[in-house]
Amino acid sequence: AASDKVRIIEVGPRDGLQNEKKSIPLATKVELTERLAHTGVPVIEAASFVAPKWVPQMASSAEVMEHVLRQPPPSPVPVLYQFLCPNQKGMDNFFKVLDSAPLTPPPSPSSTSSKQDKPEVELSIFTAATESFTRKNTNCSMAESLERFKPIFSTAKARNIGVRAYISVALGCPYEGPNVDPHAVANLAVTLLEMGANEISVADTTGMGTVPRTKKLLETLSQAGVRAEDIALHFHDTYAQALPNTIVGLEHGVRSYDTAVGGLGGCPYSPGATGNVATEDMVHMLHSLGLDTGVDMQRMAEIGEWINAELGKANESRAGKAFLAQ
């Protein structure tokens, strides 16, 4: 049944790497997305077209995207690649790469199709449920951030490119505390869906979310008319509440979850917040519930171990480490 399937959005190459202080070689970034593309994960957020002055680690995103577009589509599962974008300039840079990339050559001379498409790509935009976080992260007000999205939605629509929208600090703000108004999140979600977003990623940037407040937020979203299938949940695991909160999401019918291999990550404008919930931990739990992610646990666990070693960090995935040790 369709409801037994859960969609994992692997955000490790973007959310996972953006906060690393030491410059990561392009080859490592490219190898990470390539290896992830062969785990069965259906969506990968590969890079971000933000201002390099603000997030230097993402300065090589055009090169990462060029590599991604040259990759032969992995089989059997084709991957959708997402690219984070804060404003018109970011979108222009995204299209510059997309439009200059050659089409992927057909896999064999005997292939019947004369040309093959590029892998499917999508933009992800981001705003936040509090004024102070919006200001710190994107240097504008919440209203201004929505204004910035208008040309992005119209161009993306004309070009037939999907747009997903993040709402940061939905369950707690580093500047305003844990009790972010769930109605502010719901109003933003409704507005972004009306503007043309194909999915809202409701983000617990700080990891302050708890089971009761996650429940309250999902109820408030539902009362505002936001359907479970319009939502993805994006948990940072700072307080180890990502999996309990995921259970709440599953009970509400949400079937899309953002995760990062090896528990990589953190937002540069959310001090103290740790990585995203580890993909391996999420996949292990979902599989134990009889839900299907399509993700190969062995491959994912190996990538988590490898990338953390590359970064000189401890592997943050409990399930990944246990899986490899057994």
CB 106 within 8 A of CB 65: no
Q: Tell me which of 39, 57, 82, 87 binds ligand HMG, using CB under 6 A.
A: 87
User: Whose Cβ is closer to ligand HMG: residue 148's or residue 321's?
Assistant: 148
| Binders of Mg ion in range 9-48 (CB under 5 A) | 15
Reduced to 3 states, what is the DSSP secondary structure of residue 291? coil
Instruction: Sort residue 66 into left (φ over 0), alpha (ψ -120 to 50) or beta.
Output: alpha
- Given Mg ion, ligand HMG, none, residue 239, with its beta carbon under 5 to 8 Å by kind, binds none
Rounded least distance, CB 11 to Mg ion, Å: 7
DSSP symbols for 198-216:
SEEEEEESSS---HHHHHH
End-to-end CA, the chain = 31
| Binders of ligand HMG in range 131-190 (CB under 6 A) | 137-139, 166, 168
Q: Dihedrals φ, ψ of 149, to 5°?
A: -80, -20
Q: Does 235 bind ligand HMG (CB under 6 A)?
A: no
Instruction: Sort residue 56 into left (φ over 0), alpha (ψ -120 to 50) or beta.
Output: alpha
Residues catalogued as catalytic: 267
Q: Dihedrals φ, ψ of 324, to 5°?
A: -70, -25
Length of the chain: 326
Rounded least distance, CB 182 to ligand HMG, Å: 16
Rounded least distance, CB 200 to ligand HMG, Å: 11
Q: Does 51 bind ligand HMG (CB under 6 A)?
A: yes
Mask of contacts with ligand HMG, 215-234, x by CB under 6 A? -------------------x
> Site residues (CB under 6 A) for ligand HMG?
15, 18, 48-51, 53-55, 86-87, 89-90, 93, 126, 137-139, 166, 168, 203, 205, 234, 236, 267-269
> Site residues (CB under 5 A) for Mg ion?
15
